Amino acid sequence: FVGNSTYLDDHGPPPEKVLPFPSQVIYNRVGKCGSRTVVLLLRILSEKHGFNLVTSDIHNKTRLTQNEQMELIKNISTAEQPYLFTRHVHFLNFSRFGGDQPVYINIIRDPVNRFLSNYFFRRFGDWRGEQNHMIRTPNMRQEERYLDINVCILENYPECSNPRLFYIIPYFCGQHPRCREPGEWALERAKLNVNENFLLVGILEELEDVLLLLERFLPHYFKGVLSIYKNPEHRKLGNLTVTVKKTVPSPEAIQILYQRMKYEYEFYYYVKEQFHLLKRKFGLKSHIRKRSPRPEFFIPSPLETEEPINDEEEDDEKWLEDIYKR
């Protein structure tokens, strides 16, 4: 005869849930870099793995005042853990305001392709009816909506020139006013933040490898992500986010864009090289070629991962532990 349980009297309350490490992840997603595809995956994964997916309805405010930064950091920090917070917002330095710095992840893509995708998305939307162009940009004049991309570039319209073309780097540089100015200062600060605060920055052209590494680094969040991504039903849903009515500018216009976005390309090449080094550490093969004088626009990259290669330079598990200690 056992009688009434005395477990709580003898042992106190049951232990709290052991949180995975890291339990605070931020995906400060760069616009038109595959983020809607990734968010679709995260919604499925959050249900499957039981983490708290915190999203924001604010899509057009990436630069914040100091008070807005403090308020957002406070709101994020008090979210139930483990959480993954996602929003279009430039890098936030939590430690500056006395908070614990979370782990950051992100994805970028070829800068000119990103710009062109955004240019036509603003005008014509995608295949999803609820986010068509008339809802997204109701005040855009017809002559602006149907402005030829070559005219915009060659005649130096504001939308097709700096500082509006300086778009990707501020997401990694941060909230400092100089992060919005095209130049070496913002570029170097963005690189520093990638090294010190981002667990992974992938490139959209190799998305399947990005997902493989996210599953390896953050299994509590991304376990099984590749099988979901390859599922035909998810592929069908993902196709609805493809921008419609995209056209290719002339070679002359592309060359001008490339010159105007030289800092964006310096950053993109840097991230791409780091990503390929990371893939090597975990046995994923990359075809690293010398930089071409101009980007290879609209040439689709194969997304299939190749057979692993042997690389015994460093134990990958130890390397991952070192990443977490930073």
Residues serving a catalytic function are 88
Q: At what angle do helices 111-124 and 251-260 cross, to 10 degrees?
A: 110
Q: How far apart are CA 49 and CA 219, in angstroms?
A: 9
Both tokens of 146, joined, read 């149907």
Both tokens of 78, joined, read 């008090």
CA-to-CA separations, 175 to 56, 61, 234, 268, 309, in angstroms, rounded:
18, 12, 35, 20, 40
Report the largest interatomic distance among the alpha carbons of the chain, rounded to a whole angstrom: 90
Which strands, in side-by-side order, build the sheet including 103-108? 52-55, 83-86, 24-27, 103-108, 198-203
Q: How far apart are CA 265 and CA 273, in angstroms?
A: 12
The kind and range of the H/E element at 108 are strand 103-108
Q: How far apart are CA 38 and CA 107, in angstroms?
A: 10
Neighbours of 276 (CB within 10 A): 17
Both tokens of 148, joined, read 């030829």
User: Residue 6: helix, strand or coil by DSSP?
Assistant: coil
CB 32 within 8 A of CB 108: no
The kind and range of the H/E element at 86 are strand 83-86
Q: How far apart are CA 135 and CA 86, in angstroms?
A: 23
Q: Between vectors from CA 33 to CA 28 and to CA 34, what angle results, nearest 5°?
A: 95
